Structure 1
Amino acid sequence: MLDSAAIDVRAVQRRTIRVLLGTQIIFAVVMAMASPVTALLVQDFTHSPTLAGLAQAATIAGGVLAAVPLAELTVRRGRRVGVTSGYLVAGIGAATVVIGGVVETFLLVLLGTTLVGAAVAAGLQARFAATDLAEPDQRGRAIGIVVWASTFGGVAGPLLAGPSDSLARAIGLPEFTGPFLVIGLGLALSATAAHLWLRPDPLLLSRSLADSANHPIKTSKLRPTLRILARTPEARRAVIAVAVVHAVMVSGMNMASLHLHHGGESLEVVGAAISVHLAGMFLLSPLFGWLVDRFGARGILGLGLALLMLACGILQTTHGNSVTGIMVGLVVLGLGWSAGFVAGSALLTGSVEESARPHAQGVSDLLMQLAAAAAAFPAGAVLDAWGYPWLARLIAIPVLLVAIHLAVSARRIRPANNQN
């Protein structure tokens, strides 16, 4: 049992945020290389675009598969063990990808990329670790600061792919395996930092402060947690909103890249479009976190949904492959995701009792990633059949439905319950 009386909780929270910032920056930088390099590696020795796409999808699947087990481990052992374990498993996966590339065995690469997905689950969990010791009126800022660290991934990550690949070839490794060496080393570094410095464990300390000895934390599985979320209206709304916000962002971003590429734009233009989108996603997340704390999570979630609707409106006008229109739309799409993601995460944290939070957070991340994966398949078909403007119109529908539900439900909640 932690001696909570002898601990300066504010100092621990500041230390926790610093450690999470460091681990998230490293995580974001190295993981930015994973998806594009995976496709290139598999394509190189299988000559199959289908298998290359399958290997890319395996990382998403790995994140989905790891979400609930990591939440369960977190409940039992704390945030430090949960985050560290996710990064270590992913580091092993990166090493497996390198071995699979050396022996040119697709199944090994597939296994490795699936394990790498555990880092995605751990990285998502890190934003919730920032809230364990935060005051209720500072949770938004805590989440926003950790999300902001991912900015570095979009900027620095792709720049490391070329040099790391050149280094790997210099020591006799196959082309495209070098980035996975860097990914493995970076994740090992993040795991080590979390293991050494994420202490006292924020979740365990939070429990100690709440006198959890008198209220034991019970382990739970997926179905009981889903029942808890279903019985808690505000938590249910938060989970649905985060899932929709993430799925719409992923569909709009990924298909914009294909739309530009099919329209004959260069890779430089495509890269620039994605870069401005990533800037919209991450750069202002601390601001949105502050707004959540100042005006309430529900209000900023509504702002995020409104920005997503505006983005869809801009993108649906991009007939004739308007690069400027697409870039503006992608920036607004990123801003909408940022506001909705930060606010939805804070709303979920504030609406579930402490003993159920880690499970609820893990299930939310699971559903969020499943929603994004499920949206990716029809998005491609819509793009091929009707074009990108129609995709923008269709993905606006779930955003509008969530916004209407949020507005209607607000009338049934007393103003005091709107603050999180």
Structure 2
Amino acid sequence: MPHAQPVTPDSRTGDGVRALQRRSVAVLALATVLGGLGIGASLSAGALLIADVTGNPALSGFGSTMNAVGAAVAGIPLARLAARRGRRVALTTGNLLAVGGALLVIGAALVEIPVLLFVGLAALGIAAAVQLQARFAATDLATPAHRARDLSLVVWSITIGAVIGPNLIGPGETLGDALGLHALSGIFVFTIAAQLCAGLVVWFGLRPDPLLEARGIAKTAGDHANAALGGEPDEPASASPAPTTAMRVGRAPQFLAIALVALGHAVMVGIMAMTPLHLTHHGGSIELVGITISIHIAGMYALSPLAGIAAGRFGPIPVVLTGYAVLAAAAAGTAFGGGSVVVVQTSLVLLGLGWCMVTVAGATLVTALTPEVERPARQGQSDTAMNAAGAVFGAASGVLFAVGGFPVLSSVAGVLIVLGIAVSLRLRVLARR
């Protein structure tokens, strides 16, 4: 196992670990804020840029789809890189790849080649994979009681970029004109700067690397236990301490936890993707669409620390089940709300809140149910499954909406919600055993 940085003598004491954890969470939160600025800005302009470059507004929805595809593809490779080299290398590499994607988008807009534009937007989706891995990095040194809280703090930091980012479209157009670029691609210059700053914060601030440090602490604890039993530090695992809960429960619960996160994310993406179309079909303005999506995003991230605290106090599974109940209320609202703006907006807030509870508590479950040595790989699989499910149901939502509007789309989302509840209940039975 490579050691990226030297470890100070007192860094593995209780106080040292707590101090390092606090600093790691602060660094990850700051990097996520910076990276989120770039993502929020580019997602807002991506759809408009696709419509302008291709001349076909019907293709504009592929912007978010390509972003989700890029995040899904990058999830497992970034997790494997983290397992080999640590979080610092993996997260910084992801930031640099996202910079490459933004550069490709700018170039594609200049030469007006749609294929390059789609590839660039997919590569830019790696920035979303970085944010997802950052929330897991916040759990590496966390105690079980504080794991959900620390993870949720990093999730909450996405709020700032998600809210401010879309407002950079105007300044981005001004910058694009000044640099001689396609006006709509100017915002991607902000994305490049934001991703570079996020990478620098992680590279210089995440020392020692929390994942490598956590492994070192676990090895030291194992060596001490072996010595207490009269063995050598490198003695086989038969002389190691009693297996943890994650070791005893097996892999089935791990994949069930991954499934419940993916199902919740699919529901959120599918309903959110068709909300602008639903509102405009009922006479809503572009400004109304923007307000609705903004309050939905606030529901997704703003209260995530409360979801983390609740998961730490009451357990992740009750929070997941509550989240699915909230998602069910949101789906019912969109199914029967008709043209009522108040009902649709309330449903979108509930959609964000339900997603938040399922995602925060579900990610905590994935971490808690997985042995430490396997966590990066399983976390990467969770991120990939989550984004893949969102991309698939997001694409299918257009067909479902065309067939029967929000009632049909919300009914199918309801089936996914029932599956998520069933998976959660099954996981609770296995966890009790």
**TM-score, normalization by structure 1:** 0.91
Aligned length: 403
Unaligned runs of 5+ residues in structure 1 are 217-227
Which residue is 2:324 aligned to? Answer: 305
Shift of the 201–93 alpha-carbon distance from structure 1 to 2, 3 Å rule, reads same
Query: In the alignment, does 2:354 pair up with 1:327?
Result: no
Larger mean CA deviation between 50-59 and 28-37 belongs to 50-59
Larger CA Rg, structure 1 vs 2: 2
Equivalent residue letter for 1:370 = A
Equivalent residue letter for 1:196 = F
How far did 1:411 drift? Answer: 4.1
Of residues 388, 391, 399 in structure 2, which corresponds to 1:370? 388
Q: What does residue range 341-352 of structure 1 map to in structure 2 within 5 Å?
A: 341-352=359-370
Of residues 274, 279, 294 in structure 2, which corresponds to 1:255? 274
Of residues 48, 53, 56 in structure 1, which corresponds to 2:56? 48
**TM-score, normalization by structure 2:** 0.88
Equivalent residue letter for 2:395 = F
Q: Work out whether residues 281 and 335 of structure 1, in 8 Å CA contact, stay in contact via their aligned partners in 2.
A: yes
Which residue is 2:243 aligned to? Answer: none
Equivalent residue letter for 1:347 = L
Unaligned runs of 5+ residues in structure 2 are 224-232, 236-246
How far did 1:265 drift? Answer: 0.5
Q: What does the per-residue CA deviation read over 1:67-109, in whole Å, with 9 as the maximum and x for residues that have no partner?
A: 1111111111000000000011101111121122122222332
How far did 1:175 drift? Answer: 1.4
Which residue is 1:402 aligned to? Answer: 420
Q: Work out whether residues 16 and 130 of structure 1, in 8 Å CA contact, stay in contact via their aligned partners in 2.
A: yes
Q: Distance in 1 between matches of 2:234 and 2:44?
A: 47
Q: Distance in 1 between matches of 2:80 and 2:299?
A: 33
Q: Work out whether residues 37 and 161 of structure 2, in 8 Å CA contact, stay in contact via their aligned partners in 1.
A: yes
Which residue is 1:104 aligned to? Answer: 112
Query: In the alignment, does 2:159 pair up with 1:151?
Result: yes
Shift of the 391–234 alpha-carbon distance from structure 1 to 2, 3 Å rule, reads same
Query: In the alignment, does 2:183 pair up with 1:175?
Result: yes
Q: Work out whether residues 55 and 109 of structure 1, in 8 Å CA contact, stay in contact via their aligned partners in 2.
A: no
Q: Work out whether residues 253 and 431 of structure 2, in 8 Å CA contact, stay in contact via their aligned partners in 1.
A: no
Q: What does the per-residue CA deviation read over 1:359-388, in whole Å, with 9 as the maximum and x for residues that have no partner?
A: 000011001111111112221111111110
How far did 1:127 drift? Answer: 0.2
Q: Work out whether residues 4 and 205 of structure 1, in 8 Å CA contact, stay in contact via their aligned partners in 2.
A: no
Query: In the alignment, does 2:277 pair up with 1:269?
Result: no
Q: Distance in 2 between matches of 1:399 and 1:280?
A: 18
Which residue is 1:336 aligned to? Answer: 354
2:283 is paired with a residue of what secondary structure? coil
Q: Distance in 1 between matches of 2:140 and 2:401?
A: 42
Q: Work out whether residues 318 and 389 of structure 1, in 8 Å CA contact, stay in contact via their aligned partners in 2.
A: no
Query: In the alignment, does 2:254 pair up with 1:246?
Result: no
Q: Distance in 1 between matches of 2:215 and 2:372?
A: 8
What's the % identity of the aligned pairs?
A: 37
Which residue is 2:401 aligned to? Answer: 383
Which residue is 1:222 aligned to? Answer: none
Which residue is 1:360 aligned to? Answer: 378
Shift of the 402–173 alpha-carbon distance from structure 1 to 2, 3 Å rule, reads closer
Of residues 13, 30, 34 in structure 2, which corresponds to 1:26? 34
